[in-house]
A and B are shown apart, each in its own frame.
Chain A
Amino acid sequence: MSMTIATPVAAAEKPRRRARKNRQLQGLLYIAPAVILVTIFFVIPVLFTVWMSFHNWPLLGQPSWIGLGNYTRMFSDTRFAAALSFTAYYTVIATIAIFALAFPLALFVQNERRGVSAYRTIFFMPVVVGLATASLLWVWLANVDSGLFSPILRMFGVTGRSANLLATFNNAFPTIIVMVVWKIVGFTMIILLTGLQSIPSDLIEAARIDGAGRWQRFRFLTLPLMRRTLALALILSVTGSVLAFDQFYIMTSGGPQNRMISVVYYIFNQSFVSFQLGYGSALSIVLLGILVALSVVQLWLLRVGDDK
């Protein structure tokens, strides 16, 4: 029996090209919803913000083109500089605090021990509370008379009379840091946990046979093998901290002596309190640039990408 392949080459070419075109159209169709959403809710607003940032743009009335005026104004804006430096300070402290707690927690809930899923749930629980809700809750907890912390501190004789935790910068800042750590640490813990669990157990065993102690295994195996996870957790944490707003707005309204005005809070003030929408837009674009730069630096520092 013989088999013949009868389709001439030329005739086969056309349908194939059409099929490829079809497949490409299909692909476009699949990503279209995402493209539309990103365009409407990200690309267009960003472009519009850029456009606004070149204007003196009041809430009512006619915007007027001032070119780079809003951008040059920033350099002499001492309040913006203060907001930047406070945000940087907050980001460093919050990130260190979150990681300092999230890593031990991740290591703790990684091992299969009795009740481990209960621990994971408990540590993760605050994450599902909204940041604004959590801030309100902590405003109450930190209340001088009807709260939780002040009466406890007084009961144990730490403070003579009820202390107002949110009254001075030196008390309010740690309180907010503790609140943020309580709120965020479970999330960072889960991310780190996925990284820890992706390390094959026989690698750890090989290192044990090679004589690496607990700390050396962490230093030479766990940390390098978790680079991608660390990068993700770090970028999420830093981005979140740089964009901090709710807690300062709700808990201290910008803090004692306006010392807790973060960048986003300052942008909010400029745009929706002073109604300088053009200047607010320019500040937003600069903040976006800062975040992109920070993320690029972090990715580069953790060498994500050249994993071979």
Chain B
Amino acid sequence: MTNATGMALRQVRKSYGATNVVHGIDLDVAAGEFVVFVGPSGCGKSTLLRMIAGLEEVTDGEISIGGRDVTDLDPSQRGIAMVFQSYALYPHMSVRDNLGFGLKMANTPKAEIETRVTAAAKILKIEPLLERRPGQLSGGQRQRVAIGRAIVRKPDVFLFDEPLSNLDAELRVSMRIEIARLHKELGNTMIYVTHDQTEAMTLADKIVVLRDGRIEQVGTPREVYEHPDNIFVAGFIGSPKMNFLAGVAANDGFDLAGKTFPLGYSLAEPGTPVTVGIRPEHIEVGPSGAATFSVEVDFSEYLGGTQYLYATLADGQSLVIEHRENTEILGDGSITVSCDPGRIEVFSATGRRMRR
């Protein structure tokens, strides 16, 4: 039923009394895969992770790790280790004791605890900190210790619950790279929960987009970005957000702002209302692409490498354009922009992506 050292969820549900928060999740995680659960707050991603960890009871369904049903096992017997958002280091113990606590609980011989703690400290470069207390460490150092405590347990699966949320922006980037390096070095299966799509995109082998306790899409970062299954995923992944414009299906394309755009295939019965999704970075200034239209630029933001143009279409719908060329576009003017029809996503009224 399950793969050798990976993980599988089968119809996993969670409810608090009459309130269902996780509705039948099915998911396979291959051995050594880095899976990121991403979604807005309250989507159930943390609850799902805590169910995998065994900190939250599973109302219904089955969780297996490495082919072993762990649904009702104690957290310590699941072969997992978890890194908490708050680090959850034991404040009254030295870093060394924090790292070795799990092994001590398992009655591991002192000498082996020592070697494994030293090895983990070496991987994370926290050897000079071993005798300190968590209170004497900076946020980034605490995060390393928390990760070290997970490594020492030699788990089958690492679980990360928004581990970088409490760090400042600069540290977040360097720890993100650190975690990616760690995954490459250790090769373990890792499950990572975040609401930050940059972390999701950069770290994941596989992104699981969740909303309201349901999986909206599972795929590689590229799949999720380039072929979102629905309007929610399309809007959630990508920054700035994808432009959603109200259009109408036409023969071989769609009508938008009084103009027909050919796609080369029919979406639906002509006249059916559709939502047209175009990413800001896929719109080019100038009439080079196949689908051209003119917009009125209201104002712009200059960010150094790029410029965001806030514009309106002829029918008043607003649109954001990411302009990367080094020529400055001044506000208050009409310009022609174009885009590759292949990069345009069209969604039905129910939010599903429409393809030929």
Contact = CB atoms under 8 A, between A and B. Distances in A.
A205 B105 contact: no
A211 B88 contact: no
Interface stretch (A159-167, A216-224, A245-253): A216-224
Interface in B81-98: 81-82, 84, 86, 88-92
B53 interface: yes
26 contacts: A203-B88, A203-B90, A203-B91, A205-B53, A205-B55, A205-B82, A205-B84, A206-B84, A206-B89, A207-B90, A208-B55, A208-B76, A209-B53, A209-B55, A209-B81, A210-B101, A210-B149, A210-B153, A211-B105, A212-B105, A220-B101, A224-B92, A225-B91, A307-B92, A308-B133, A308-B136
A200 interface: yes
Which 9 pairs between the two chains have the least Cβ-Cβ distance?
A211-B76, A210-B102, A206-B88, A202-B88, A211-B105, A209-B75, A224-B92, A212-B105, A202-B84
Contacts of B86: 200, 202
Contacts of A205: 53, 55, 75, 82, 84, 88
Main SS class of interface, A: helix
A30 B316 CA distance: 63
B153 A308 contact: no
Contacts of A203: 88, 90-91
Contacts of B209: none
Contacts of B55: 205, 208-209
A79 B224 CA distance: 87
A209 B106 CA distance: 11
Given A210-B101, A220-B90, A225-B91, 18 more contacts: A200-B86, A202-B88, A203-B88, A205-B84, A205-B88, A206-B84, A206-B88, A206-B89, A206-B90, A207-B90, A208-B74, A208-B75, A209-B54, A211-B74, A211-B77, A211-B102, A307-B92, A308-B133
Contacts of A200: 86, 88
A199 to B, nearest CB: 10
**Most chain B beta carbons < 10 A, residue from A205, A206, A216, A225:** A206
A224 B97 CA distance: 14
Contacts of A202: 84, 86, 88
A224 B92 CA distance: 7
A209 B76 CA distance: 5
B51 interface: no
A221 B102 CA distance: 13
A206 B89 CA distance: 8
Interface of A: 200, 202-203, 205-213, 216, 220-221, 224-225, 307-308
A202 B46 CA distance: 13
Contacts of A212: 76, 101, 105
A82 B136 CA distance: 50
A209 B82 contact: yes
Nearest to A224: B92
Contacts of A206: 82, 84, 88-90, 149
A200, A211, A216, A307, most chain B CB atoms within 10 A: A211
A207 B135 contact: no
B100 to A, nearest CB: 10
Contacts of B92: 224-225, 307
Contacts of A208: 54-55, 74-76
Contacts of B135: 308
A197 to B, nearest CB: 16
B208 interface: no
A220 B91 CA distance: 11
A220 B101 CA distance: 9
Contacts of A308: 133, 135-136
Nearest to B78: A209
Contacts of B149: 206, 210
Interface string B135-163: 11000000000000100010000000000
B63 interface: no
Interface in B259-307: none
Contacts of B90: 203, 206-207, 220-221
Contacts of B81: 209
B80 interface: yes
A203 B88 CA distance: 5
Contacts of B53: 205, 209
Contacts of B102: 209-211
Contacts of A224: 92
Contacts of B133: 308
Nearest to B97: A220
A250 to B, nearest CB: 44
A200 B90 CA distance: 10
A290 B76 CA distance: 48
Contacts of B82: 205-206, 209
B231 to A, nearest CB: 35
Nearest to A199: B91
A196 to B, nearest CB: 15
Nearest to B102: A210
Interface string B19-55: 0000000000000000000000000000000000111
Contacts of B89: 206
A232 B149 CA distance: 33
Interface string B48-73: 00000111000000000000000000
